[in-house]
Structure 1
């Protein structure tokens, strides 16, 4: 019962072997089948009932997007990991797949020997597989269909305002910047939350979303079309402006630095090492917000695996920031908000549909 059954779907035999071998190297994983298009995969899902499926997007007969759409009507479908090329088109299609309920994205290795690429894929898949193992026996509904919306009364009850256990120094003012850390389930959550922010929001928002290079540019483009605020992928030297949302570029780190005039604040994009195995890292961003916006910032931690962001939020809290955490029930993975919430540094615990309103209250 503790064995995870996996199905590998890709129209290229090389990638089927790389991904399949990576999964077979992990204890407790059984690769029960492969398929070279979505039509064959759909048939195998019904008979093999895999817990986990890696899925290519561009395939003959039935592509990955069409397969995800077919899974919408299936009871207890497998958790889906998209395996996508690092291209602009690949990024756009991957975002569409994530909006259809795919769990996460795995970039296709494009160079190096097969054994080296297998190890890269395995390293990326390991935390996802651990998550599936933890919850396989937890009777968690892994259907990709969205949950029905709660009533307004129920949503109001779900917001928890509480006196934090970590005191803030001095008197704080209204927030002048918002920092957001988010990972697994993030593109879907941001697609719901960002459009709820009003056009007249007079503060900048900086977001670290754990995604590979190229995909963050596609995410920024997608959110920009849906949002009343300007959303861009951050570039080195950008001046931080009110009413603008900056997304950290995948594969880089993003922080705040002082401008040459000593008054403005600018974005610094670096190639500093990963933190918490993350690049970009929420901790890396949050530390710089804590330093440059004492008593004038809001930190938001949302759905995602791992604990990236917690240490940075502690520094923000100690420097007078307000901390908002997404609640457990609306997280795809209740990892990143868990430790900040349980440690007592969080001021507000809110469901996804109320986070934008809670952000507005702090500014």
Structure 2
């Protein structure tokens, strides 16, 4: 199967591409390299550009008429940044997707997997969410994901396009073969900042210790990125089974571990693997932060035959392994070749 991956030079998209390659499929990547890395596309079919560029998307789909499905991972994703720059997020995440989907419809594409976010849920008292939980995004980033899902549902209701939205929270880990990983040298999420604190000897700032959780720190659902990639693969291979004739054109499925991990528990698990350990410093809540939640993933098991297989320790260990070689693989100051297309 040939699959178009929008945002395939980013953390999630490049890992999905690796998983597809391992399974014998052919990924075709579109990425504007705003946050993605060209190095993740070496040896892969890569078209540099923005999904909002109609002529680019038309050209890719004309060049690859045998594309059978699309995985949409292209997005800006940093919550505090979305609070500071909401226009950028609505432009990149919402407006660009509208233009992209318009071209997919013109070219008769009818299978789309949207890499969404479980941050669109309003968690219940136990901080768990499933596909029936109330929706209500708490920051501009999450709002953009919710708006796009609603747009895609409307489009799927009146066109042959069928859309599967995969909702998840906090990806950690890396491709087991260390082909791709977190591209930023100092990621904004908790595990990335923990690794940075360990390397610099600085204390780790915990953003709030007054959340309504068992230890006062925020609760997260950390799912290994390779498990996420495997879920995308399962979804592609079972896609048509998910959308029987006469049924709805949009379906949402949660991907998660089924358990929540607090930030302090993450730090304890991290410190169990490193020496010296990282000290903790209390810090104010960040703009856009919430208490957090975790996902129930029974529907993913029933429909996709999927469950998270890699635990928190594996995710931390794999992330440490990636950052141990990241500077060699991703020379931030190097001048890279201008283009790589296939």
Range of TM-score over shorter length: 0.3 to 0.5
Q: TM-score, normalised by structure 1?
A: 0.35
| Max Rg structure | 1
Q: TM-score, normalised by structure 2?
A: 0.37
Q: Greater RCO between the two (CA within 8 Å, min separation 6)?
A: 2
